[in-house]
Amino acid sequence: GSIALALPSLASAGNKLAGVVSSNYKVPDPSTPYKYVTRYNNYYEFSTDKEEPAEAAQTLKTRPWTVSIEGLCAKPQTIGIEDLLKFAPLEERIYRMRCVEGWSMVIPWVGFPLATLLKRVEPLGSAKFVEFTTLADRKQMPGIGSRVLDWPYVEGLRLDEAMHPLTLMAVGLYGEELPNQNGAPIRLVVPWKYGFKGGKSIVRIRLLDKMPGTAWNKAASHEYGFYSNVNPEVDHPRWSQATERRIGEFGKRKTLMFNGYDEVAPLYAGMDLKKNF
């Protein structure tokens, strides 16, 4: 579109995704402008600066690309990105995104529920957790040389969280293919959790019976728990999580429990969310 023309360095984005259908999962908040969504990214494999991945991630090659789904399932398989783009109807979903750093956005994602993908491999009864491994290729990703995190970046969900209808595998935003800096060609989006739970450029999904170790939890376990649900009551040890700055807004707004997605509360019935942060 015109935006891609105005920003020639984002040439790989801008391909319109065909056959995107609307969905009921749309928050009424106005969407964060495209230029902010695509130029303010935490993608440590490219840089720990938030403005740099927009340029630095242009080295990422997103074709060919496969995602291998393995572990405790009846039909493990490796699926090419072309098939992933086709096998389920692509939906537009407008989600709030709350970063653990205290800022937030509203993003019109395009994707399909993770549950659709997991059902295809038929998880076994023993599967309790899902682990997401993202690409860690030194040749394409300059940040892999630094020891900021333990690469590859790994994230995880409990199986019931992964199967929740809100949990999305995103392949696009604003109706177009995902720009590299936003996690092309396929990433996870879990809107009631802090943004870092949504692994970018995913290459492997594994069903496990044990809780997987996750990148930020391994880096600082007292600061980043496995669950990392958005929770204004549980502060980060070094800053408050009670409020957030919505990108593009001047003032701050109150952070909502589960980022406003109250329908996920039953997943945590009876759990002490201060302990399981």
Query: Do 128 and 196 touch, CB atoms closer than 8 A?
Result: no
Kindly state the helix (H) or strand (E) to which residue 36 belongs, with its residue range.
helix 34-37
Question: Rounded CA gap, 15 and 43, in Å?
Answer: 21
Closest CA to 10 of 41, 44, 31, 32: 41
Backbone angles phi, psi at 79, to 5 degrees: -120, 130
Question: Rounded CA gap, 133 and 252, in Å?
Answer: 34
Question: Rounded CA gap, 85 and 18, in Å?
Answer: 10
From 220, 221, 233, 271, residue interacting with another protein (rule: CB under 8 A): 220
Q: Is 30 in the site for another protein (CB under 8 A)?
A: no
Write down the least CB distance from residue 245 to another protein, Å: 7
Piece of 6-14, 110-118, 238-246, 255-263 that binds another protein (CB under 8 A): 238-246
Write down the least CB distance from residue 114 to another protein, Å: 27
From 4, 20, 31, 39, residue interacting with another protein (rule: CB under 8 A): 39
From 22, 80, 239, 265, residue interacting with another protein (rule: CB under 8 A): 239
Write down the least CB distance from residue 53 to another protein, Å: 12
How far is the first Cα of the chain from the last one, in angstroms, to the nearest whole number? Answer: 41
Q: Is 98 in the site for another protein (CB under 8 A)?
A: no
Residues that bind another protein (CB under 8 A): 35-36, 39-40, 44, 48, 50-51, 101, 103, 146, 148-149, 219-220, 235, 238-240, 242, 245, 247-248, 250-252
